[in-house]
Chain A
């Protein structure tokens, strides 16, 4: 079955960077795009970006341009989300979510990774 397994919780200091991983299994990794979505405590969901695991091509939300980088490793079927220049407002649960394909929606979700930014 399709599984998206994310890395564990992180605690980071302001100004540093974080990398969250999402390991996919149960399907052909390069056939489905992957999104990243985050949710700050008590807030709504926020789309961050998308990566094509086949080509490595990416598209990012404007508010994250220059701070977020999505990459993938096709040898391990893993997608990575790097977020730099962390600030307290980046404290959130970060989700990877598979894009089904034809209809631009998230059909499978990881369980989320809590990133806490605190001095």
Chain B
């Protein structure tokens, strides 16, 4: 069974830069997995940030960027703000037609 891996937690200082990653338990992530990223605050539906590896969803500030770093997909937040404190999830689309979520990263800004 495919497992998508994310850091369980991460911390960043206000104004700082943080890179969250999204990997596979076996193999490398490439653009052919169409990596996408979502943020979620408690009690709310997820919000789409990035799709197709590096395309920002409408209205998402350019402080958020996506890429492939080594063998993983990555979400970089520059100039972190207090309200960036959220849970961040990546999703990979598999050849079999299924999508798989990573376990999520809880980002703390302090």
Q: Which residues in A have some Cβ–Cβ distance to B below 8 Å?
A: 35, 37, 44-47, 50, 59-62, 95, 97, 100, 102-107, 109-112
Contacts and interface: CB of A to CB of B under 8 A. Distances in A.
Interface of B: 1, 34, 36, 38, 40, 45-48, 51-52, 55, 57, 87, 89, 91, 93, 96-104
Given A45-B40, A45-B89, A103-B52, A109 B46 contact: yes
Given A45-B46, A100-B51, A107 B98 contact: no
A35 B48 CA distance: 14
Contacts of B51: 100, 103, 105, 107
Given A45-B89, A106-B38, 17 more contacts: A44-B89, A44-B102, A44-B104, A45-B104, A50-B99, A59-B98, A95-B46, A103-B34, A103-B51, A103-B52, A105-B36, A105-B48, A105-B51, A106-B36, A106-B46, A106-B48, A107-B48
Nearest to A110: B45
Contacts of A105: 34, 36, 48, 51-52, 91, 93
Q: Is the interface of A mostly helix, strand, loop or mixed?
A: strand
Nearest to B55: A103
A106 B99 CA distance: 10
A50 B97 contact: yes
Contact of B98 (A47, A103, A109): A47
A37 to B, nearest CB: 8
6 tightest Cβ-Cβ pairs between the two chains A and B: A104-B93, A105-B51, A105-B36, A103-B52, A109-B45, A44-B104
A13 B67 CA distance: 45
A50 B100 CA distance: 12
A35 B98 CA distance: 10
A50 B96 CA distance: 12
A44 B48 contact: no
Contacts of A102: 52
Contacts of A97: 46
